[in-house]
């Protein structure tokens, strides 16, 4: 069943388009005002060349070229396989390696973000029978330059997933070790409910740009050139959200010229047209993408059947990346995007009527016709300046603005009959932030980094509810509802500074160490000094070890339910938990002590294994739950606890076949409730205060992975997820059934005269048609069942667009 939103949604999409055009105009004005001075300074492009066993190769001819294949210079590697160039301008370059007896290898680097430390692997032509290109040899699992655990998927790896670039970004992240899937495509990293920080093209996005715990995907996979998960011992640059950093490098117009138009369609009334378009005019580059999605599986289904009840959604998204070269060593860029969402809230059949509403006959108003919905709007823009005033010095300045709003619209009849409360909840958040980062390499062995972050988050919460008065036993006193409400406005300020050093003590041993100081005020208050240190050691040519310690300071989600609403609901049918007089309504920052150690081993030229182990002691652990009957989550703190995990990943990248396999063991246990106690029943509070209990958003065992095989013009892909289920019941004492889903696809390319390469892909989701219960309507902060999708067939068609 299609539900058109009419002129109301048209106005939303028009406002979103106007927002994107305004940001483009602002960029043009900034560009015209910028100076275009020439400079003789340069960027350092360096790295080393190894054979497939990790041994350095000397005497290799290294050639550097521009993206247009213009040769800029040549070097010969030294005894340790090292090379270095001086690039005059920011941009994309190709570095080619050639030596007799080895196959030619070519890698791409981007100045300045990936220009240092590039490893080129060359394969001997004698002992191996399969010729492998360098791009296929790069493994997904590795370490960052500071020794943190890093798992990276490129746009080609995303294409190799069953749904290709139509894979939601959170589903892409589930293909990485340590990531758990929850309801409504929420994800959790290393047993933490929150703690996810997003970074785009080297800029930290505002904290309220987060696909978890919101209920829509604010970011998608279309504009991703590569995406990495950084976790473990992070360098001092990162704070506030430290479970993991999702680092996105976006596509750029000068490297992604041209475009395509795609459409996905299939069961569940699914239609999703999209486009990508990129181009380059002189110093100006642009990349644009947009999509519109309609289906009837907006939220996780509340019923186990293939077709949810009352779950239609409409969503529009757009993203633009605009760059302008101010000179050979400076670049201005603007990233801007929007999401507009309108979706029904799913229903369950056969619910008993709990309350009487005036003259309404519940038999004439079954629970399947309850008409509640959720609307969400999200707009962001990031303006950044990157420059290198000297060969050993570069900096970045960025300003970000973000607006997000959520509104739950109740059914004033159905919600009152079946729940006793009909709440209209509106949350909005307008943030402005500025950040700066400076990198200085005074000597070859040390790279120093300094930076700051200042952010202002203005939150508005407006809650209005229809409820029935009740007596002390909860019995309804009258059949006519009354209206109660509460609101809250708060300015939240975040600030922080950091300093760090990456010291290469020897060719084999290095350490990253530093500290940061952070402060938060407003909805919550606190500050902390957070040191970090991480050692990495190239023990053998094919083996690298790492170990470290960090102290972290994490802030809660600023959007929530107004605490005053709990008080005004007391004595009504909308009362929740232990009541308004129990506990502290405002959450506190989380403070963690974190240890991490692991190793990476190259088993063979195309086969790499990584293991990472962590242990965390947490104080004021931040969690969130849906309390009451509104699908907007409220933050609260547990008193103390600990988390631990073991992550294993194995990757293979060959000429025609690539495969990934991840196995994770994880557990988070806590005790006591420090804030938000009023949300809990008294019996549950007493149990939690006297017992360590298992948190409900991480399975004990998780297995994920996939494979892709290319044969001529065909591409066959498979990906899947298995876990041992989340937790439910009183104080999360019950285990849920295993979750298991396998997806398959087959794609073929066709050359069409006068059009170009057309690609058709058939996707089969959940091939075993398994019923997967993600959440029952029990557990801490859960009130609605959630099931995974049943077997579904889709088809995608992609055609090229002309280059403008």
Read off the pLDDT of residues 443-493 as tens digits, 9 standing for 90 and up. Answer: 989 999 999 999 999 999 898 999 999 998 889 999 999 999 888 898 999
Q: Are 319 and 362 within one domain?
A: yes
Helix/strand/coil for 120: strand
Strands 149-154, 224-231: parallel, antiparallel or unpaired by DSSP? antiparallel
The confidence band for 118, taking pLDDT boundaries of 50, 70 and 90, is confident
* Residue 61: half-sphere exposure toward Cβ, Cα within 13 Å: 8
Q: Which of 498, 645, 499, 476 is nearest to 573 (CA)?
A: 476
Which residue did the predictor score with more confidence, 18 or 727? Answer: 727
CA–CA distance, 224 with 256 (Å, rounded to integer):
11
Structure tokens belonging to residue 723: 């876990």
Which residue did the predictor score with more confidence, 93 or 516? Answer: 516
Pick from 129-143, 321-335, 633-647, 690-704: least confident: 129-143
Cβ-based neighbours of 497, under 8 Å, separated by 6 or more: 450, 451, 452, 453, 516, 517
CB 252 within 8 Å of CB 285: yes
- DSSP type of residue 606: T
* Structural domain includes residue 527: yes
* Structural domain includes residue 529: yes
* Residue 776: half-sphere exposure toward Cβ, Cα within 13 Å: 13
Looking at residue 508, what is its pLDDT? Answer: 92
Digit-coded pLDDT (tens) for 645-678:
999 999 999 989 999 999 999 999 999 999 988 8
Q: Are 63 and 101 within one domain?
A: yes
Helix/strand/coil for 58: coil
Looking at residue 73, what is its pLDDT? Answer: 80
Q: Name the E strands within 201-268.
A: 203-204, 224-231, 244-250, 258-266
Percent of the chain's residues with pLDDT above 90: 63
Statement: residue 8 has pLDDT above 60:
no
Q: Are 491 and 587 within one domain?
A: yes
Of 102, 137, 172, the residue at which a domain comes to its end is 137
Cis peptide bond upstream of 452, omega within 30: no
Q: Helix, strand, coil: what percent of the chain each, to 5?
A: 10, 55, 35
Output phi, psi for 679, to 5 deg.
-80, -15
Statement: residue 195 has pLDDT above 70:
yes
Pick from 263-267, 582-586, 798-802: least confident: 582-586
Q: What's the rounded mean pLDDT across residues 285-289?
A: 96
Q: What's the rounded mean pLDDT across residues 576-585?
A: 71
Q: Are 385 and 264 within one domain?
A: yes
CA–CA distance, 466 with 767 (Å, rounded to integer):
44
Cβ-based neighbours of 323, under 8 Å, separated by 6 or more: 252, 253, 254, 284, 285, 286, 331, 332, 333, 334
What sign results for the dihedral spanned by CA atoms 196, 202, 208, 213? negative
Q: Name the E strands within 420-566.
A: 421-443, 446-467, 482-504, 509-521, 526-540, 543-554
Q: What's the rounded mean pLDDT across residues 768-772?
A: 97
Looking at residue 21, what is its pLDDT? Answer: 43
Q: Which of 400, 402, 401 is nearest to 377 (CA)?
A: 402
For the beta carbon of residue 601, count every other beta carbon within 10 angstroms: 16
Helix/strand/coil for 467: strand
CA–CA distance, 719 with 159 (Å, rounded to integer):
12
Helix/strand/coil for 731: helix
Q: Are 234 and 131 within one domain?
A: no
* Residue 173: half-sphere exposure toward Cβ, Cα within 13 Å: 30
Total domain count, the chain: 2
Which residue did the predictor score with more confidence, 334 or 74? Answer: 334
The confidence band for 9, taking pLDDT boundaries of 50, 70 and 90, is very low
* Structural domain includes residue 608: yes
For the beta carbon of residue 507, count every other beta carbon within 10 angstroms: 11
* Structural domain includes residue 466: yes
Q: What's the rounded mean pLDDT across residues 401-418?
A: 93
Looking at residue 20, what is its pLDDT? Answer: 42
Q: Which of 292, 291, 297, 302 is nearest to 312 (CA)?
A: 297
Q: Are 335 and 411 within one domain?
A: yes
Q: Are 246 and 306 within one domain?
A: yes
Domain of 110, in residue numbers:
43-137
Which residue did the predictor score with more confidence, 573 or 39? Answer: 573
Q: Are 381 and 272 within one domain?
A: yes
What is the CATH classification number for the domain harbouring 49? 2.60.40.10
Q: Are 663 and 515 within one domain?
A: yes
Q: What's the rounded mean pLDDT across residues 533-559?
A: 94
Tracing tokens 């015209």 back to the chain, one arrives at 32
- DSSP type of residue 676: -
What is the CATH classification number for the domain harbouring 254? 2.40.170.20
CA–CA distance, 194 with 231 (Å, rounded to integer):
14
The DSSP-derived string for 383-400 is EEEEEEEETTEEEEEEEE
* Structural domain includes residue 21: yes
* Structural domain includes residue 38: no
Pick from 79-83, 119-123, 417-421: least confident: 119-123
First to last CA, the chain: 39
Q: Are 17 and 55 within one domain?
A: no
Statement: residue 18 has pLDDT above 70:
no
CA of residue 286 relative to chain centroid, distance: 23
Q: Are 209 and 115 within one domain?
A: no
- DSSP type of residue 164: G
The confidence band for 28, taking pLDDT boundaries of 50, 70 and 90, is very low
pTM: 0.84
Q: What's the rounded mean pLDDT across residues 173-191?
A: 92
CA of residue 77 relative to chain centroid, distance: 38
Looking at residue 130, what is its pLDDT? Answer: 27
Q: How many residues does the chain have?
A: 804
Q: Name the E strands within 508-656.
A: 509-521, 526-540, 543-554, 590-604, 607-625, 634-653
For the beta carbon of residue 458, count every other beta carbon within 10 angstroms: 17
Q: Are 23 and 82 within one domain?
A: no
Percent of the chain's residues with pLDDT above 70: 88
CA–CA distance, 72 with 469 (Å, rounded to integer):
79
Q: Which helix (H) or strand (E) covers residue 565, if one does?
A: helix 563-569
* Residue 154: half-sphere exposure toward Cβ, Cα within 13 Å: 10
- DSSP type of residue 367: G
As a whole number, the mean pLDDT across the chain is 87
* Structural domain includes residue 545: yes
Structure tokens belonging to residue 253: 């117009």
Statement: residue 598 has pLDDT above 50:
yes
Of 111, 137, 163, the residue at which a domain comes to its end is 137
Of 115, 137, 159, the residue at which a domain comes to its end is 137
* Structural domain includes residue 86: yes
CB 635 within 8 Å of CB 622: yes
Q: What's the rounded mean pLDDT across residues 356-378?
A: 93
């Amino acid at each position: 069943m299609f539900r058109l939103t009419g002129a109301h949604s048209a106005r939303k999409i028009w406002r979103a388009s106007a927002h994107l055009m305004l940001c483009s105009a602002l960029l043009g004005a900034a560009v015209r005002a910028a100076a275009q001075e020439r400079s003789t300074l340069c960027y350092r492009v360096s790295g080393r060349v190894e054979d497939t066993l990790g041994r350095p190769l000397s005497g290799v001819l290294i050639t550097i070229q521009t993206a247009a294949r213009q040769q800029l210079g040549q070097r010969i590697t030294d005894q340790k396989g090292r090379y270095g160039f001086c690039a005059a301008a920011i941009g994309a370059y190709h570095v080619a390696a050639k030596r007799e007896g080895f196959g030619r290898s070519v890698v791409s680097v981007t100045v300045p973000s990936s220009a240092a430390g590039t490893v080129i692997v060359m394969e001997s032509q004698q002992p191996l029978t399969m010729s492998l290109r360098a791009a296929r040899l790069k493994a997904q699992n590795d370490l960052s330059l500071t020794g943190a655990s890093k798992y990276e998927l490129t746009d080609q790896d995303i294409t190799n997933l069953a749904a290709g670039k139509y894979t939601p970004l959170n589903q892409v992240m589930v293909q990485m070790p340590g990531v758990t899937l929850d309801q409504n495509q929420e994800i959790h990293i290393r047993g933490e409910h929150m703690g996810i920080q997003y970074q785009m093209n080297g800029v930290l996005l505002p904290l309220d740009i987060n696909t978890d715990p919101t209920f829509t995907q604010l970011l998608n996979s279309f504009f991703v050139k590569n995406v990495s998960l950084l976790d473990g011992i992070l360098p001092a640059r990162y704070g506030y959200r430290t479970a993991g950093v999702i680092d996105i490098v976006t596509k750029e117009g000068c490297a992604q010229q041209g475009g395509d138009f795609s459409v996905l369609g299939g069961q569940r009334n699914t239609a999703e047209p999209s486009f990508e378009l990129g181009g380059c005019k002189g110093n100006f580059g642009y990349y644009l993408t947009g999509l519109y999605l309609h289906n009837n599986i907006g939220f996780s289904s509340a019923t186990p059947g293939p077709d949810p009840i009352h779950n239609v959604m409409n969503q529009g998204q757009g993203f633009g990346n605009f760059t302008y070269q101010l000179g050979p060593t400076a670049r201005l860029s603007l990233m801007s995007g929007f999401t507009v969402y309108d979706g029904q809230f799913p229903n369950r059949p056969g619910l008993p009527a709990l309350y009487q509403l005036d003259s309404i006959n519940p038999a004439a108003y079954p629970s399947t016709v309850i008409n509640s919905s959720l609307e969400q709007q999200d707009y962001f823009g990031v303006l950044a300046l990157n420059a290198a005033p000297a060969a050993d010095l570069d900096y970045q300045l960025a300003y970000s603005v973000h607006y997000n709003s959520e509104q739950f619209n109740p059914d004033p009849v159905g919600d009152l009959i079946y729940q006793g409360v009909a709440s209209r909840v509106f949350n909005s958040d307008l943030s402005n932030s500025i950040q700066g980062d400076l990198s200085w390499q005074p000597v070859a062995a040390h790279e120093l980094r300094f930076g700051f972050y200042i952010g202002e988050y203005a939150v508005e919460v407006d809650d209005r509810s229809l409820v029935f008065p009740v007596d002390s036993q909860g019995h309804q006193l009258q059949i006519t509802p009354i209206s109660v409400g509460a609101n809250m406005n708060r300015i939240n300020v975040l600030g922080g500074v950091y300093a760090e050093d990456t010291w290469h003590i020897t060719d084999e041993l290095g350490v990253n160490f530093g500290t940061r100081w952070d402060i938060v005020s407003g909805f919550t208050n606190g500050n902390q000094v957070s040191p970090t240190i991480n050692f990495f050691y190239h023990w053998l040519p094919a083996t690298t070890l790492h170990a470290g310690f960090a102290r972290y300071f994490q802030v809660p989600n600023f959007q929530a339910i107004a605490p005053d609403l709990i008080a005004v609901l007391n004595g009504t049918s909308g009362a929740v938990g232990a009541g308004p007089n129990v506990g502290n309504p405002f959450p506190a920052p989380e403070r963690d002590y974190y240890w991490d150690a692991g190793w990476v081993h190259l088993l063979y030229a195309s086969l790499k294994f990584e293991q990472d182990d962590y242990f965390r002691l947490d104080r004021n652990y931040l969690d969130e739950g849906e309390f009451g009957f509104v699908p907007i989550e409220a933050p609260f703190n547990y008193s103390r606890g600990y988390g631990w995990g073991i992550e294993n990943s194995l990757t293979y990248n060959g000429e025609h076949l690539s495969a990934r396999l991840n196995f994770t063991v994880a557990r988070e246990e806590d005790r006591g409730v420090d804030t938000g106690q009023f949300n809990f029943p008294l019996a549950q509070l007493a149990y939690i205060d006297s017992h360590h209990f298992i948190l409900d958003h991480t399975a004990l065992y998780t297995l994920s992975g996939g494979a892709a095989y290319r044969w001529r013009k065909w591409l066959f892909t498979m990906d899947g997820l298995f876990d041992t289920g989340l937790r439910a019941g009183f104080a999360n004492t019950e285990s849920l059934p295993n979750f298991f889903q396998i997806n398959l696809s087959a794609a073929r390319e066709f050359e069409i005269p006068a059009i170009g390469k057309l690609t058709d892909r058939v996707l089969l989701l959940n091939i075993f048609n398994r019923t997967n219960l993600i959440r029952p309507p029990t557990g801490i902060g859960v009130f609605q069942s959630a099931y995974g999708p049943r077997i579904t067939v889709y088809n995608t068609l992609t055609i090229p667009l002309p280059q403008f």
